[in-house]
């Protein structure tokens, strides 16, 4: 077989496409002209049998010569006879001279056909080998119907058209986007969505997914990637339609994304898309451009309201504890006052009961003692003026204790000022004591408390 391939494919042979006139004639027993033992006899030249001289090396080979040479090589491989006769001219593969009929024999034609058919069969069977990369899977189809799946590595299937295979990447993290395509055929953008409070928002998000069932991914739907986009958009519209605009714009983006992901996965499973949604990222949420200025004003007003609310809450947190503390203090003081007054009243009542008991034993002594104690209590808390009433004099003696205290205060105030004056200057004299004012006319003597008490008896 190796020799057959080498001789069949020896295209680089310089004799390929040329005649073999220069080859020495092979000695055969049936040839008419045998070699003579006399070596001194010159060898006759071979006649050219109805053929032109061989072209030079600079000229391209003739196609007829190439074809005849190819047939001759095949005939030599499969046992074909070379031409008979004395002439050393070229022979065709089937042992006929060029001047004779060029009809091939049935035996040689059958051998060529069998070899060609075997080579074609080997090549056809070899076309069933295929390689599946890591992270991919191959689905084998027999006459267009799914049969089984093969993993990564070197695999073989029945060649085409009996079986074929489709390769699907199951490890790749795919992504579908919504809201990045802009205007579609004169319609509104697919990113515009209506909220619960009837506001329009412009939302852009991306969905990441993987292929979980390759057979469903390939054969259940024509465009499975578009199903992901439509399912994600439908789920997001449903969730946004149940939410307020403030919640979508500023507050619950992550919660909305998680809820929309679950709904989109249920929709994809209902269609049998054979995919698993991994994540849904909300990348941009904003109001439409036509009302962007109004939304900015509303946002600013909401921020001001929040700031004022926080300031009011801070003021309340400062005032309410202090007010509660003051109220608690007043309650405690009132409780203390009540306890004190109650205790004092109870003590006075108990004292009065005891005094009454003693009064019943000695009324005169008790009255005298009560009078003395009362006078002592009164005179110890008031300023006293001594008036001599027996001499019937109109001179009124002012309260000497107050005058003495006033004089001492004035002296203490003038002493620092005198110490700060220069040494050469005379010290100012002390102000004269105020002259006592003229005493008014003495009033009629008022009965003393003791006399009234005695008269009441």
pTM of the shown model = 0.45
User: Alpha-carbon distance 205 to 260, whole Å?
Assistant: 11
- What would the pLDDT profile of 215-232 be if each residue is shown by its tens digit? 888 888 888 888 888 888
Instruction: Extract the runs of DSSP E, i.e. beta strands, from 267-419.
Output: 275-286
Q: Which of 341-362 are b and which e, b meaning 16 or more Cβ less than 10 Å from the residue's Cβ? A: eeeeeeeeeeeeeeeeeebeee
**CATH numbers and ranges of domains, the chain:** 1-21+52-126 (no CATH), 129-169 (no CATH), 174-287 (3.30.479.30)
- What would the pLDDT profile of 331-378 be if each residue is shown by its tens digit? 999 999 999 999 999 998 998 888 888 888 888 888 888 889 888 888
Q: Which of 311, 230, 306, 313 is nearest to 275 (CA)?
A: 230
pLDDT for the residue numbered 341: 94
Other Cβ atoms within 10 Å of 390 Cβ, number: 5
Of 35-44, 103-112, 145-154, 185-194, which range is least confident?
35-44
- What would the pLDDT profile of 51-110 be if each residue is shown by its tens digit? 444 545 455 667 777 777 777 776 666 555 444 444 444 444 444 444 444 545 545 567
- What would the pLDDT profile of 285-295 be if each residue is shown by its tens digit? 888 888 888 88
User: Alpha-carbon distance 380 to 384, whole Å?
Assistant: 9
């Amino acid at each position: 077989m190796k020799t057959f391939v080498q001789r069949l494919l020896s295209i680089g042979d310089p004799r390929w496409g040329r005649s073999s006139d220069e080859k020495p004639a092979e000695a055969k027993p049936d040839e008419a002209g045998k070699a003579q033992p006399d070596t001194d006899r010159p060898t006759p030249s071979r006649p050219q049998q109805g053929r032109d001289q061989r072209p030079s090396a600079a000229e391209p080979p003739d196609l007829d010569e190439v074809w005849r040479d190819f047939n001759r090589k095949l005939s030599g491989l499969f046992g074909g006879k070379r031409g008979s006769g004395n002439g050393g001219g070229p022979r065709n593969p089937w042992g006929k001279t060029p001047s004779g009929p060029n009809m091939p024999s049935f035996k040689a034609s059958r051998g060529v056909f069998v070899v060609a058919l075997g080579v074609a069969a080997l090549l056809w069977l070899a076309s069933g080998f295929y390689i599946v990369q890591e992270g991919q899977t191959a689905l084998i189809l027999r006459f267009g119907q799914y049969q089984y799946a093969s993993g990564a590595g070197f695999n073989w299937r029945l060649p085409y058209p009996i079986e074929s295979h489709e390769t699907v990447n199951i490890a790749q993290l795919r992504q579908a986007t919504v809201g990045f395509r802009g205007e579609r055929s004169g319609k509104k953008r697919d990113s515009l969505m209506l909220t619960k409070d009837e506001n329009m928002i412009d939302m852009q998000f991306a969905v990441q997914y993987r292929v979980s069932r390759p057979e469903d991914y390939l054969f259940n739907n024509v465009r499975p990637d578009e199903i992901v986009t439509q399912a994600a958009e439908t789920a997001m519209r449903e969730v946004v339609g149940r939410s307020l605009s403030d919640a979508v714009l500023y507050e619950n983006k992550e919660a909305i994304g998680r809820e929309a992901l679950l709904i989109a996965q249920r929709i994809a499973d209902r269609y049998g898309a054979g995919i698993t949604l991994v994540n849904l990222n909300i990348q941009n949420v904003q109001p439409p451009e036509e009302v962007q200025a109004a939304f900015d004003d509303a946002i600013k007003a909401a921020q001001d309201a929040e700031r004022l609310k926080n300031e009011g809450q801070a003021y309340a947190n400062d005032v309410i504890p202090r007010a509660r503390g003051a109220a608690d203090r007043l309650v405690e003081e009132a409780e203390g006052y009540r306890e004190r007054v109650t205790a004092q009243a109870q003590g006075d009542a108990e004292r009065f009961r005891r005094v009454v008991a003693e009064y019943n034993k000695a009324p005169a002594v008790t009255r005298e003692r009560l009078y003395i104690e009362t006078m002592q209590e009164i005179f110890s808390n008031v300023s006293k003026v001594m008036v001599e009433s027996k001499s019937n004099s109109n001179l009124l003696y002012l309260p000497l204790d107050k005058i003495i205290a006033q004089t001492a205060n004035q002296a203490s105030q003038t002493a620092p000022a005198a110490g700060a004056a220069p040494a050469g200057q005379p010290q100012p004299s002390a102000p004269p004591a105020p002259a006592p004012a003229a005493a008014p006319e003495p009033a009629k003597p008022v009965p003393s408390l003791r006399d009234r008490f005695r008269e009441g008896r």
